[in-house]
């Protein structure tokens, strides 16, 4: 492992605000992390468009060089997104991704790295789509491949409005200031992912720490890294195999916990010390979906070579809770593989594997609202549903978005289509939707 620390950090450490137990007041206003301010996929107090097309309600559209399926992150008037750009060769991977997003996705399961790549963060003015700055953080040829539908820039950045934390997995974790200047970088080594399926977990912030879930086919760990220095605050060993999920910080009974979804065990750790609080078995292999949380209840899902949903009551969660009364309800059908669930008020929405088949349940009781509801004219779905203004937005890999009414009954409000394909999940801020496609980045806003 290595830590590269800018000389500036010694000066900045005394001046830079790093939020503690509570995030900054603007945290809920923007989209500062993967799955939004709450981690549940919900935009707060926003009213984005219901309908759009290439000729309607597109405020701007720009091309992003290279490939990436990381989702856009927003703070203030700036949007941040990562990409991996081949050096000195035609972007053959782009064609592979384009072919891969078509229905059926015939072809090899993996893509081998043929070129040296630039790993880049872009900062974009979200009002007009102009690039404000771009920062190349690493140039190297990846040590292993990625899934044919994946990219080498699948991890979303996270920000607290003071610093930007860009994570490229085996290519490192980087702390930048809001103008794109490098403060420090951290190299955790190389991951060896199952079947060379690539990497995809995103970092999360809390209490002056950056949390990184490092699960692969070698020694797995959970890192808590100091936000200002990049040095370990704590590190715990994990008996885990490859995951692609992002952890979730929750607060319960005065204690902040970091919940990690994974194949061998779902675990929760004390954010201050890394001490294990509880754990349970019950997930499938290739865990991707992020946990969600409501009123003392954590819900975790997975859906590859099996199906699993567990609703865990934190009041009763101590030690090994497998098959205990801490598991309030469970489900073994129709759960998601790639898309994370959406938890909107007390309703959890999730898709069956990667298909456009939707289920809706009361998150607290497990009561079914509806199940196996097919979304017409929709194909394979990798991106995660997003909720805003009493609506649910679901986008497939061919550019189609179905908008339904949030509630216990299924009602379609609109069907929209764009010319790009989408694996990244949308972000919603100030009544605007930001959608990162395989080649373009869109701002969807009401025509003025």
Query: In the chain, which residues have pLDDT < 70?
Result: 1-25, 89-109
Domains of the chain, by residue range, sit at 2-444
Extract the runs of DSSP E, i.e. beta strands, from 303-430: 308-313, 319-320, 327-331, 342-344, 347-351, 357-362, 368-374, 386-388, 391-395, 400-405, 412-417, 427-429
Q: What is the pLDDT of residue 11?
A: 30
b/e per residue 297-324 (b: at least 16 CB within 10 A): bbbbbbbbeebbbbbbbbeebeeebeee
Neighbours of 402 (CB within 10 A): 22
Decide: 148 and 107 in contact? Cβ < 8 Å. Answer: yes
Query: What are the tens digits of pLDDT across the range 130-183?
Result: 999 999 999 999 999 999 999 999 999 999 999 999 999 999 999 999 999 999
Question: 2-444 — its CATH code?
Answer: 2.130.10.10
Q: What is the pLDDT of residue 28?
A: 84
290 Cβ contact list (under 8 Å, min separation 6): 34, 35, 39, 245, 246, 247, 248, 261, 340, 384
Neighbours of 39 (CB within 10 A): 22
How far is Cα 411 from Cα 405, in angstroms, rounded to an integer? 6
Query: What are the tens digits of pLDDT across the range 49-58?
Result: 999 999 999 9
- DSSP-H helix ranges across 91-206: 92-100
Q: What is the pLDDT of residue 4?
A: 40
426, two tokens: 């949308």
24 Cβ contact list (under 8 Å, min separation 6): 17, 160, 161
Q: What is the pLDDT of residue 444?
A: 98
Neighbours of 177 (CB within 10 A): 15
Q: What is the pLDDT of residue 24?
A: 58
How far is Cα 105 from Cα 97, in angstroms, rounded to an integer? 10
74, two tokens: 């927003």
Q: What is the pLDDT of residue 23?
A: 54
């Amino acid at each position: 492992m290595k830590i590269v620390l800018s000389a500036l950090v010694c000066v900045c450490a005394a001046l830079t605000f790093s939020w503690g137990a509570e995030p900054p007041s603007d945290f809920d206003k923007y989209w500062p992390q993967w799955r939004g301010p709450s981690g549940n996929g919900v935009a707060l107090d926003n009213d984005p468009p219901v309908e759009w097309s290439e000729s309607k309600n597109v405020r701007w559209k720009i091309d992003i060089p290279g490939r990436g399926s990381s989702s856009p992150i927003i703070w203030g008037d700036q949007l941040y997104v990562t990409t991996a750009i081949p050096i000195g060769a035609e972007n053959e991977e782009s064609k592979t991704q384009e072919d891969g997003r078509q229905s059926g996705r015939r072809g090899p399961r993996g893509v081998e790295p043929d070129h040296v790549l630039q790993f880049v963060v872009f900062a974009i003015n979200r009002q007009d789509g102009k690039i404000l700055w771009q920062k190349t953080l690493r140039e190297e040829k990846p040590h292993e491949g990625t899934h044919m539908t994946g990219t080498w820039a699948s991890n979303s950045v996270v920000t607290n409005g003071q610093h930007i934390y860009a994570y490229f997995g085996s290519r490192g974790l980087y702390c930048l200031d809001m103008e794109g200047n490098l403060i420090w970088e951290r190299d955790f080594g190389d991951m060896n992912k199952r079947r060379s399926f690539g990497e995809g977990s995103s970092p999360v912030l809390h209490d002056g720490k950056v949390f990184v879930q490092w699960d692969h086919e070698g020694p797995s760990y959970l890192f808590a890294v100091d936000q200002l220095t990049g040095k370990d605050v704590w590190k715990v060993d994990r008996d885990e195999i490859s995951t692609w999920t992002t952890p979730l910080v929750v607060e319960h009974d005065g204690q902040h916990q970091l919940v990690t979804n994974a194949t061998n065990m779902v675990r929760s750790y004390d954010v201050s010390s890394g001490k294990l609080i509880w754990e349970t078995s019950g997930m499938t292999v290739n865990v991707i979906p992020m946990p969600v949380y409501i009123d003392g209840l954590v819900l975790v899902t997975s859906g590859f070579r099996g199906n699993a949903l567990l609703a865990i009551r934190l009041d009763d969660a101590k030690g090994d809770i497998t098959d205990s009364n801490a598991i309030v309800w469970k489900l073994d059908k129709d759960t998601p593989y790639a898309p994370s669930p959406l938890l909107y008020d007390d309703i959890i929405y999730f898709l069956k594997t990667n298909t456009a088949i939707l289920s809706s349940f009361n998150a607290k009781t497990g009561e079914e609202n509806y199940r196996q509801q097919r979304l017409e004219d929709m194909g394979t779905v990798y991106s995660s549903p997003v909720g805003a203004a009493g609506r649910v937005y679901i986008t497939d890999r061919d550019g189609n978005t179905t908008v339904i009414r949030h509630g216990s009954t299924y009602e379609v409000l609109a069907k929209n289509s764009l010319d790009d394909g989408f694996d990244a999940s949308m972000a919603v801020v100030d009544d605007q939707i930001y959608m990162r496609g395989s080649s373009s980045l869109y701002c969807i806003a009401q025509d003025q």
